[in-house]
């Protein structure tokens, strides 16, 4: 698949299948193929299907995980906090129109392929069936995202001209039903393989394993827990399994086709055909200088337990920490051997320097991150930990120190986009050293959308919700053991006390396991926990590491948990009804 993408990219082949952008509808430049000519031979049909896959590269569709991550419990945007989190969002917000447009672009491309593939001359019946099954999965993927966000959208299942996009919204249940049908059709097709092994020329194409995994997630939304259980168990029978190596290594190029990856956006290091997670999550010390648009949530970092399962408590490491004013406790994060000028400056902003240690301040705070769940420091760059970045084109080890001095001179502090504040930064998805990615804005590393850890924790949830708590625990433990943390029921801290306790443990496990992957927002919406876990009773927001709020969140109301239909879309289609609470 990567080879196909590369060839496709180098040929600058652009497929015009959209019925969502009027300025493209009647144009077919020399380097484009119109929909009418797309399905005239096998070669063009292959490219047409690739055009459906390429819709995953658009915002809100697949390759931009941070779009969703900013709304979850584990991440906070660096600046320009979204209006959904500021409490002043309106239905004219561009996010709503962009997501709607791009996801329907994917639907439109899939519909075009599904309708026309049966008539392609010279295309073998088995291949036709397989490609149709792939496109039905992709249509289900786009509708899955639409239905989670808008809870009921118009269902278009045939190629549609722009002027004919006039349907009223189907109900949320009707859309789920269609998604299940598409996924069931894909699963039933004997030509769709269970799995592609690493190195297979077709790797990256949809498989039965992917269809089972997505249908299992849909069944969780439907609270059809027995159906979800069956689907998730079927994924293992397709040949998928947990990656057995280091959690951090799972997100490196060498393991992008490992047995855990079920469905990924295929990337190559070419402009427009790679992903920019490293660019968005990285810092000025990352290869080529990056932007760190998103930070790990300070509140969320505190939820990571110790490796033995004991809950983290600031008071056990630094007695009196939680009763201090946030700015006062910044003293614990200061570097050793500060200059007199630095001490004066920190005292001036409110740090309680009576608790400062000239030698040992760094060692004291390092204890906070010692013996914690290894996924914490494998996902997040914590104070005074090492990060392999780049200086003048060469590898350079940096440390996240405060106050910042220099990334050029010894001892090489990590440089962020805003050295006026001290935030956690991401390690996951961020390049290390000069050789890991060819360009800061397009990494060749595939981005996982479905992986086997998701399946295992989904299976555990489905079993637990059927009161099969004892059966669910081993599946959670598979994920925990790979992460390097104590198994449930292995010591006093990990004893499971019934269904409600395991439910909370599974939810936390998902938050830690999928931090940075754009998964947790959908989870919080499905569980009904978004308000409690993201807004924290009015105390949440972008915070410096010691808890000082720099930009706070405001909960706008329960109706914010369903996205607004864009004003523009409502104006173009008078049959659309707005979601409750939103005003056109």
- Structure-token pair, residue 573: 């289609």
Q: What is the pLDDT of residues 146-168, one digit of tens each?
A: 999 999 999 999 999 988 999 99
Give yes or no for residue 13 having a pLDDT over 90.
no
**CATH fold for the domain made of 2-59+98-278:** 1.25.40
Are 83 and 564 contacting, i.e. CB atoms less than 8 angstroms apart? no
In angstroms, the CA 126 to CA 119 distance is 13
The mean predicted confidence, pLDDT, of the chain is 93
All residues at 6 or more sequence positions from 217 whose CB lies less than 8 Å from its CB, including other chains:
144, 228, 454, 458
Q: What is the pLDDT of residues 200-215, one digit of tens each?
A: 999 999 999 999 999 9
227 vs 31, higher pLDDT = 227
Could you say which DSSP state residue 330 is in?
Answer: G
- The pLDDT, as a whole number, for residue 125 is 98
Give the pLDDT mean for 335-345.
Answer: 98
Give the pLDDT mean for 331-346.
Answer: 98
- The pLDDT, as a whole number, for residue 14 is 36
Give yes or no for residue 10 having a pLDDT over 80.
no
- The pLDDT, as a whole number, for residue 34 is 63
Give yes or no for residue 245 having a pLDDT over 90.
yes
Q: What is the pLDDT of residues 394-421, one digit of tens each?
A: 999 999 999 999 999 999 999 998 899 9
530: helix, strand or coil: helix
Residue with tokens 């996801």: 103
Give the pLDDT mean for 120-141.
Answer: 98
Label residue 439 by pLDDT band (50, 70, 90): confident
- The pLDDT, as a whole number, for residue 9 is 47
Label residue 12 by pLDDT band (50, 70, 90): very low
Q: What is the pLDDT of residues 278-316, one digit of tens each?
A: 999 999 999 879 999 999 999 999 999 999 999 999 999
Task: Tell me the CB-side half-sphere exposure of residue 413, using CA atoms within 13 A.
Answer: 15
In angstroms, the CA 251 to CA 445 distance is 8
Q: What is the pLDDT of residues 172-199, one digit of tens each?
A: 999 999 999 999 999 999 999 999 999 9
Of 278, 290, 289, residue with least CA distance to 516:
278
Give yes or no for residue 17 having a pLDDT over 70.
no
Give yes or no for residue 31 having a pLDDT over 70.
no
In angstroms, the CA 69 to CA 85 distance is 12
Label residue 28 by pLDDT band (50, 70, 90): very low
Give yes or no for residue 16 having a pLDDT over 70.
no
Q: What is the pLDDT of residues 480-530, one digit of tens each?
A: 999 999 999 999 999 999 999 999 999 999 999 999 999 999 999 999 999
Task: Tell me the CB-side half-sphere exposure of residue 371, using CA atoms within 13 A.
Answer: 9
All residues at 6 or more sequence positions from 90 whose CB lies less than 8 Å from its CB, including other chains:
83, 564, 582, 583
Q: Where in the chain is the domain with CATH 1.25.40.390?
A: 2-59+98-278
pLDDT > 70: percent of the chain: 94
Of 397, 360, 401, 407, residue with least CA distance to 383:
401
- The pLDDT, as a whole number, for residue 23 is 26
Give yes or no for residue 5 having a pLDDT over 90.
no
Give the pLDDT mean for 39-67.
Answer: 95
Could you say which DSSP state residue 121 is in?
Answer: T
Predicted TM-score (pTM) of this structure = 0.94
Report strand pairing: 32-34 vs 14-16.
parallel
| 466-475: Cβ within 8 A, 24+ apart | 466/225, 466/226, 466/229, 467/499, 469/496, 469/498, 469/499, 469/502, 472/502, 472/506, 473/502
- Structure-token pair, residue 481: 């053991």
């Amino acid at each position: 698949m990567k080879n196909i993408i590369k060839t496709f990219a180098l040929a600058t082949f652009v497929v015009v299948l959209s019925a969502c952008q009027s300025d493209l509808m009647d144009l077919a430049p020399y380097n484009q193929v119109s929909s009418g000519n797309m399905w005239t031979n096998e070669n063009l049909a292959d490219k047409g299907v690739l055009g459906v896959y390429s819709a995953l590269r658009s915002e809100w569709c697949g390759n931009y995980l941070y779009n969703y991550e900013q709304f979850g419990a584990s991440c906070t945007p660096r600046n320009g906090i979204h209006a959904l989190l500021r409490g002043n969002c309106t239905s004219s917000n561009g996010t709503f129109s962009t997501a709607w447009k791009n996801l329907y672009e994917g639907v439109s491309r899939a519909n075009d392929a599904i309708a026309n593939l049966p008539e392609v001359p010279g295309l073998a019946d088995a291949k036709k069936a397989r490609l149709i099954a792939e496109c039905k999965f992709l249509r289900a993927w786009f509708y899955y995202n639409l239905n989670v966000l808008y809870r009921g959208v118009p269902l278009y299942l045939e190629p549609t001209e722009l002027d004919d996009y006039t349907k009223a919204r189907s109900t949320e249940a009707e859309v789920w039903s269609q998604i299940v049908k598409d996924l069931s059709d894909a699963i039933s097709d004997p030509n769709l393989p269970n799995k592609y092994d690493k190195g297979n020329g077709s790797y990256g194409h949809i498989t039965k394993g992917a269809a089972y995994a997505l249908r299992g997630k849909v069944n969780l939304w439907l609270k059809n827990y027995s159906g979800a259980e069956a689907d998730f168990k079927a994924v293992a029978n397709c040949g998928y399994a947990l990656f057995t190596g280091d959690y951090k290594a799972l997100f490196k190029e060498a393991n992008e086709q490992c047995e855990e990856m079920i469905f990924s956006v295929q990337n190559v290091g070419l402009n427009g055909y790679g992903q920019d997670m490293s660019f968005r999550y990285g810092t000025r010390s990352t290869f080529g200088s990056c932007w760190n648009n998103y930070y790990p949530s300070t509140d969320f970092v505190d939820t990571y337990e110790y490796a033995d399962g004991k809950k983290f408590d600031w008071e056990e490491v630094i007695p009196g920490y939680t009763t201090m004013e946030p700015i006062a406790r910044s003293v614990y994060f200061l570097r050793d051997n500060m200059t007199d000028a630095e001490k004066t400056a920190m005292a001036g902003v409110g740090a309680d320097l009576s608790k400062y240690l000239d030698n040992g301040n760094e060692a004291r705070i390092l204890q906070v991150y010692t013996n914690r769940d290894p996924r914490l420091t494998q996902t997040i760059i914590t104070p005074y930990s090492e990060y392999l970045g780049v200086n003048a084109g060469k590898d350079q080890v940096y440390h996240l120190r405060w106050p910042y001095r220099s990334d050029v001179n010894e001892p090489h502090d990590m440089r962020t986009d805003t050295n006026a504040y001290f935030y956690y930064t991401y390690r996951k998805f961020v390049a290390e050293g000069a050789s890991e990615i060819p360009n800061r804005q397009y990494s060749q590393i595939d981005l996982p959308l479905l992986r086997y850890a998701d399946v295992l924790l989904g299976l555990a949830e489905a079993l637990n919700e059927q009161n099969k708590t004892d059966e669910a625990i081993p599946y959670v433990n598979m994920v925990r053991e790979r992460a390097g943390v104590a198994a449930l029921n292995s010591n006093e801290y990990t004893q499971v006390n019934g269904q409600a306790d395991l439910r909370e443990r599974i939810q936390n496990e998902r938050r830690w396991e999928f931090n940075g992957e754009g998964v947790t927002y959908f989870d919080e919406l499905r569980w009904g926990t978004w308000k409690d876990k993201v807004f924290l009773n009015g105390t949440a927001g972008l915070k410096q590491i010691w808890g000082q709020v720099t930009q706070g969140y405001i909960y706008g109301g329960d109706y914010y948990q369903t996205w607004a239909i864009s004003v523009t879309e409502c104006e173009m289609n008078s049959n659309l009804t707005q979601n409750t609470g939103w005003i056109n």
